[in-house]
Amino acid sequence: MPYSLIHNGTLIDGNGSNPLPNAAILIKDNQIIDVGKEDSISLPDKEIKKIDAHDMFILPGFIDTHVHIMANGFKMEDTMYNPLSLFFFRGVENMRRTIDAGVTSIRDAGLADRGVKMAVDEGLVVGPRMLISVMPLSISGGHFDHHLNSGFDMKISYPGLPESICDGKDEVRKRTREILRSGADFIKVMVTGGVMSVNDGPEHTQFTIEELKVMVQEGEFHDGVKVMAHGHGAEGIKNALKAGAYSIEHGTYLDSEAIQMMVEKKTYLIPTCVVIKHNKKLAEAGELPEYSREQAIEIVDIHDENIRKAYEAGVQIVMGTDCGVVPHGLNLEELGFLHDIGMSPEEAIMAGTKHAAECLKVDDKLGTIEKGKLADIIISKKDPIANIKSLGNPDNIVLVMKDGKIIKDLRT
């Protein structure tokens, strides 16, 4: 049955338009072919599967631009004691939790390789469509160098997964090319330390501008693959901006100069408020390693203040969560946190739909409910304009359609 009609709901299309009651969406196979008031839709003289929204709220499938779909907390003991196969089975569950939360597309920020992406594309497992960065690039002793002081390496590794560590322009060029050879859609680089690091802190600057320029150049040589830069400290962020990074992830210690540079360069900011907030809770409960607890608590207010300044200055902010460092399925809580820093509910929704699709350069087919787009659609039990934080509860996401196929359906 190639035709489906979603009807009897209020449409929030992702474009920032006023909600449209009594809306309907006509779908053929996996593509939206008409949208509007139900009585304005011309139905084909064919058998149609009707999907009743029961007066609920119809939105585009959301896009999380910063996820670690294969990770579950980066716990050292998992690497030490668990068989590698468990890593992949947990990944399958993570994908299911993500799509059940209403996220139909992701950009993975490290550890998902081409095979994980292929498994979803071929329908072997249920999960969001994904763009991948394969393996983040790190300096020796940097944020993705998992060697402990004892010399033990707690990283996850298996044949085909590239090495992360690189120092100096020649080694950086080689590692970047290996990442691209592995099928990376984006190049991920750690330009500062991190909260969960063993060997550094969030403000530690990592990589030189010259090294970062090599990554950007290699990406441009490879059909314009962009660089996404993990950055907490201001100096590392500014180095990334000077080198031509496309997006800044986290942005905790952004200063006025960095913010102005982002505005001028039209650089995307992915604040990952979810991980910042939840890490604080975990730290206060004693559930983070001792070396990261103090940092996890102290950066929350700093992050809030600087992300608010960036938003008010006009930096383009899109939704990303860092789920995988914290539990999967929390993704749409990010929208409520974006609302807290000043976004209207409509703006927050667009940060996770239209603008996220633009950031990932997939806005020709995803991000809004419009004629010609792919049928990635969710139905929310509650009105997200009246209560944007309601989307953060996966139980309120009663239907998820990806590529014209219903993945989750709680309507009955």
Question: CA 391, 131, 377, 404: dihedral to nearest 10 degrees?
Answer: -150
Q: Which of 113, 117, 185, 188 is catalytic?
A: 188
What one-character-per-residue DSSP string does 110-161 give? SS--HHHHHHHHTTSS---EEEE--S-BB-TTSTT--B-TTS-B-----TTP
Q: Residue 348 and residue 345: Cα distance in Å, rounded?
A: 5
In 3-state terms, what secondary structure has residue 71? coil
Secondary structure letter of residue 374 according to DSSP: B
- Annotated active-site residue 64? The verdict is no
Q: Residue 58 and residue 211: Cα distance in Å, rounded?
A: 45
Q: Which of 64, 200, 322, 376 is catalytic?
A: 322
Question: CA 116, 120, 121, 124: dihedral to nearest 10 degrees?
Answer: 110
Q: Residue 389 and residue 395: Cα distance in Å, rounded?
A: 12
In 3-state terms, what secondary structure has residue 89? helix
- Annotated active-site residue 188? The verdict is yes
Place of tokens 């939704």: 319
Active site residues: 188, 322
